[in-house]
């Protein structure tokens, strides 16, 4: 991973997983599982076309699969690339990886479903 790219995103995204998160950002897709309460889960696929810079817009699509339903539910949205990277880092911290789907951070779901703004450090 380029040291310049790490330096570019470091003011927005902190943590040990920044370099791995940038590698996932370049992939453009992840598989996950949304934990349901009180039990169960829903598989999902998140796909995106990232911007190059942290404040550049990322176009993304979330596809959530449901049991017993032929069609999945799709959400399309745009957000700053640094915000997506932050959520990818949270996904990695929750155990996400190539062979292991995990849930995205709760802040993602609150943003998507409730429209709650996320807080991110300003440069």
pLDDT value for 123: 41
Where residue 118 falls among pLDDT bands split at 50, 70, 90?
Answer: low
pLDDT tens figures, 46-72:
999 988 899 999 999 999 987 766 788
Cβ–Cβ under 8 Å, residues 88 and 25: yes
Give the ranges where the chain is alpha helix by DSSP (H).
3-9, 18-27, 81-93, 106-109
The DSSP call for residue 111 is I
CA angle 50, 56, 57 (to 5 degrees): 65
pLDDT at position 119? 56
* Other beta carbons within 10 Å of 119: 7
| Full-model pTM | 0.86
Q: What is the pLDDT of residue 114?
A: 86
The yes-or-no verdict on residue 120 having pLDDT over 50 is no
Peptide bond connecting 38 to the previous residue in cis, omega within 30 degrees of 0: yes
Residue 113 has pLDDT above 70, yes or no: yes
């Amino acid at each position: 991973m380029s040291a310049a790219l790490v330096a570019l995103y470091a003011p927005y995204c902190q943590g040990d997983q920044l370099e791995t998160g940038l590698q996932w950002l370049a992939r453009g897709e992840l598989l996950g599982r949304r934990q349901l309460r009180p039990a169960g889960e829903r598989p999902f696929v998140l796909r995106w076309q990232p911007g190059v810079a942290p404040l550049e817009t990322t176009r993304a699509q979330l596809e959530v699969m449901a049991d017993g339903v032929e069609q999945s539910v799709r959400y399309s949205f745009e957000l700053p690339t640094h915000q997506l990277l932050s959520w990818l880092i949270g996904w990695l911290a929750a155990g996400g990886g190539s062979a292991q789907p995990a849930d995205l951070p709760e802040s993602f779901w609150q943003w998507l479903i409730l429209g709650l703004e996320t807080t991110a450090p300003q440069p």
